Structure 1
Amino acid sequence: MLLSGDTNKPIYVQIADWLEGEIVTGSFQVDDKIYSQYQLAEMFTVNPATAAKGLTLLLEDDILYKKRGLGMFVADHAAIRIQTKRREGSLMRLIEQLLTEANQLGVSKKELMELIETMMQEREEGPK
């Protein structure tokens, strides 16, 4: 597996983000054991200490919990915590960027809302 080399995010943050994605999509469920720092290091071809930093981020955010001698596991409500964090963080930044761009292009609130509604409806309907 490869991490994005063209991002400003440190590698350990990218590892944490990847694990969060795995939890949100259901690849890991509550109380599932997740990859060790050594497995992650091998998967992403990074130093085990770097992988450990990614795991520590998730531990500090109560997304993972540690069982001494057994490894790390997915915490209860981890997916909800991740979704909330992403809504409050990246989604809000994206909305701010969208609003700035719409303002610069002279797109009205009504036009923007109609665009969003149309795109959401197309996604719900799926490919034609």
Structure 2
Amino acid sequence: MSHSIDDSQPIFQQIARRIADDIIDGTTKEGEQVPSTNQFAKHYQINPATAAKGINLLVEQEILFKKRGVGMFVAEGAKEILLKERKVEFYERYIVPLLQEAEYLQLSKNQIKQLIDEGGK
């Protein structure tokens, strides 16, 4: 938990994103326990309910599951689910605007590929 909280989005979403990032990059593996709401609250100096809200987002997505009396753990298949979601997010956030701008500039898909391959030269 080395990240810091910022004002770019709600804190609970940042908590969920940080856990998801750790799963995607392999820092936290499937079957491993994630920090508790109290650990997040203490580390980031936030209300435990805020941390719980972020964790519960991932529970709802079946990324995390609860072992009663033990804590929260990464579900099997969580990384694949997250990668699939992030690819959709990437497409919508970056590719769609790129294609819209390319159409405006009358660039073909081959020209876009060439620009990517050449690094914009």
Query: Do both share a fold (TM > 0.5)?
Result: yes
What's 2:5 paired with? 3
What's 2:88 paired with? 88
Are residue 117 (structure 1) and residue 91 (structure 2) matched?
no
Are residue 37 (structure 1) and residue 61 (structure 2) matched?
no
Q: Could you tell which deviates more after superposition, 70-79 or 9-18?
A: 9-18
CA distance in 1, matches of 2:88, 2:5: 24
AA aligned opposite 2:34: I
TM-align CA RMSD: 1.6
CA shift for structure 1 position 46? 1.6
Q: Determine helix, strand or coil for the equivalent of 1:69.
A: coil
CA distance in 2, matches of 1:42, 1:98: 41
CA distance in 1, matches of 2:118, 2:44: 39
What's 1:19 paired with? 19
Q: Over residues 75-117 of structure 1, what are the superposed CA-to-partner deviations in whole Å (9 max), with x where a residue is unaligned?
A: 0011001001111224333111111222334433221111233
- TM normalised by structure 1 equals 0.82
Q: Any stretches of 5+ residues in structure 2 without a counterpart?
A: none
Q: Could you tell which deviates more after superposition, 40-49 or 68-77?
A: 40-49
Q: Determine helix, strand or coil for the equivalent of 1:30.
A: coil
Identical counterparts, % of pairs: 38
Q: Could you tell which deviates more after superposition, 16-25 or 80-89?
A: 80-89
CA distance in 2, matches of 1:87, 1:16: 17
Q: Determine helix, strand or coil for the equivalent of 1:58.
A: helix
AA aligned opposite 1:20: A
CA distance in 2, matches of 1:111, 1:42: 51
AA aligned opposite 2:4: L
What's 1:62 paired with? 62
Q: Determine helix, strand or coil for the equivalent of 1:114.
A: helix
1:98–1:32 distance in 2 versus 1, CA, 3 Å: same
